[in-house]
Amino acid sequence: MKNIFTRNRHRTERIGFAAITLMAIATVLPIVATVIYIIVKGAPAVSFEFLTDFPREGMRAGGILPAIIGTIYLTVGTAIFSVPLGIAAAIYLSEYAADSPLTRTIRIAIINLAGIPSVVYGLFGLGLFVLFLNFGTSILAASLTLSIMTLPVIISTAEESLRAVPQAFRTVSISLGATRWQTIRRIVLKEALPGILTGVILGLERAAGETAPILFTGAAFFLPRLPQSPFDATMALPYHLFVISTQVPEMPIQIQYGTALVLLVFVLTMNLIATVIRSRARAKRQW
């Protein structure tokens, strides 16, 4: 009798274990399938010319250079605004702010900011940056809009990384005659940097792949030349992909997939960099 029970228990456990394993694999499948599909369909289109040429024949031939350059501009522009602001906000919340109604409000605002649909950011950017501040449909307006969208990610991951630095380091540093700021600059930020960088890259990666926020604020359907100043509109990979997938009749399908592949590689490379930074820092961490 006893043996039967144990065997049953073993079997139940094995089935349960197998089910969980399957589910874990199932979560990986969509991403793997997507990547493989895009590579297979898009790789034939990607060539040196595709990456370095302007679109030709109503975008039905040629390359996607302006969209690539535009996405790089927008990502850098977003970084310029969101990184200093985000890190400064995180330092304030983690190191200086006492727990008060004000800081609680700030925190709630940040959490809610992260939940706003990206198209709403787009409309907000249109209202504030394009129209009210009169930046026009431009890289500047689009970068600022993307920055607002990216901020919550940067702030929350940076704050988390700062808080993970042991309190004892701060106490010791202060006891050695350091000011708060010296402590932050020389010890806390240094230790939190890999975590902060990871958050920054993940935030920028999201910005690089978004369409809706730049739709009304900086993205151009087609431009015959590269943008010359931050006040110019620009082409960008995600919007270009949207355009050639839905707005251009008789579009060769491999160009669509080729563009998708380039965007995917762009974003996954950023992701990979973040992962490498994180795992290296974990291996090196001494507390």
The label of the residue with tokens 């302006």 reads 66
Q: How far is the CB of 147 from another protein (least distance, A)?
A: 31
| Distances, alpha carbon 269 to alpha carbons 41, 201, 205, in Å | 19, 10, 9
Nearer to another protein, 186 or 280 (CB): 186
Q: What are phi and psi of 88, to 5 degrees?
A: -60, -45
Nearer to another protein, 28 or 168 (CB): 168
Q: How far is the CB of 64 from another protein (least distance, A)?
A: 45
Question: Pick from 102, 215, 220, 203: which is nearest to 160 by CA?
Answer: 203
Q: H helices of 43-138, where?
A: 48-52, 65-91, 101-115, 118-125
Nearer to another protein, 41 or 170 (CB): 170
Nearer to another protein, 181 or 221 (CB): 181
Q: How far is the CB of 137 from another protein (least distance, A)?
A: 47
Name, in order, each residue with C-beta under 8 angstroms of 124's C-beta and a sequence gap of 6 or more: 145, 148
Nearer to another protein, 128 or 281 (CB): 281
Using the 8-state DSSP alphabet, how is residue 43 labeled?
A: G
Q: How far is the CB of 165 from another protein (least distance, A)?
A: 9
List residues near another protein by CB under 8 A.
166, 168-179, 182, 186-187, 190-191, 286-287
Q: How far is the CB of 91 from another protein (least distance, A)?
A: 17
